[in-house]
Amino acid sequence: MADAKPLVLVAGAGAGLGQSLLARFEDGGYQPVGLGRTQPENPVGAFHELDLSNADAVTSEIADITVEHGPPKLVVHNTAELVIAPFTETTLQDYQRTWSSMVQSAILLAQATLPPMVRAGGGAFIVSGATASMRGGACFSAFASTKFALRGLTQSLAREYQPTGVHVAHVILDGIIDTSRSRDLHDLDPANMMDPYEIAEAYWQLAHQPRSTWTHELDLRPASEGF
């Protein structure tokens, strides 16, 4: 093992929340490693480019990372595949693509990381959800159905792995995350958007809760957001 720092592994470590998570946990003394399809500019820590829906690639890559750094202390599943279209224009391939990107990737990530985390004494496994995890909106059938499935998967993992010492949690992000891309897409005052580093701070607190008071589901939104 190259270092004694606890490992934080973020799947879906793109610009915005993914990189902010790695930066926050690096500031807290963790070894940051990001996973994703495309490496962002100036990534925090090490970045491994891979298709997170590919079983062989995920298994092999995480095995190599574990050999180098030890089992992760924290794993964050943060992938996203947004499809916005009327139902009659949403293809079967759209549903399959969103499912493989968000649910299949979470299954593979959990299968590769939870057993070694249990053997190492526990840790935290956090899944990023969205408003669509709780309610389906018009033209969001592919995205919402997948987010609902991801929430159910996370609940099942929590009930199975909490007794083993792994804190499994689901975070509903009810708002637009402030990134350069989202500013281009949405005509919103940044004061009404979610600061990715402040979201990362909430993940930090969640990952370090005492075992007597574990939160399974946390919802975060700007003060201006209606709910």
Question: Cβ contacts of residue 90 below 8 Å, gap of 6+?
Answer: 83, 141, 142
pLDDT value, residue 77: 98
pLDDT score, position 3: 55
Measured CA to CA, the distance from residue 71 to residue 66 in angstroms comes to 5
User: If you average pLDDT over every residue of the chain, what do you get?
Assistant: 94
- pLDDT, tens digit (0-9, with 9 covering 90-100), for 62-106: 999 999 999 999 999 999 999 999 999 999 999 999 999 999 999
pLDDT in tens, 132-178: 999 999 999 999 999 999 999 999 999 999 999 999 999 999 988 98
pLDDT in tens, 17-31: 999 999 999 999 999
Helix, strand, coil percentages in the chain from 3-state DSSP, rounded to 5: 50, 20, 35
For residue 2, what pLDDT band results from cuts at 50, 70 and 90? very low
Burial class (CB in 10 A: 0-12, 13-18, 19+), 89: exposed
Catalogue all structural domains in the chain, each as residue range(s) with its CATH number: 7-220 (3.40.50.720)
Residue-wise over 127-141: b if at least 16 C-beta within 10 A, else e? bbbbbbbbebeeebb
Stronger pLDDT, 129 or 227, i.e. the higher one: 129
What average pLDDT score do residues 33-38 get? 96
pLDDT classification of 47: cutoffs 50, 70, 90 = very high
Find, among 133, 153, 155, 158, the residue nearest to 219 by Cα. 133
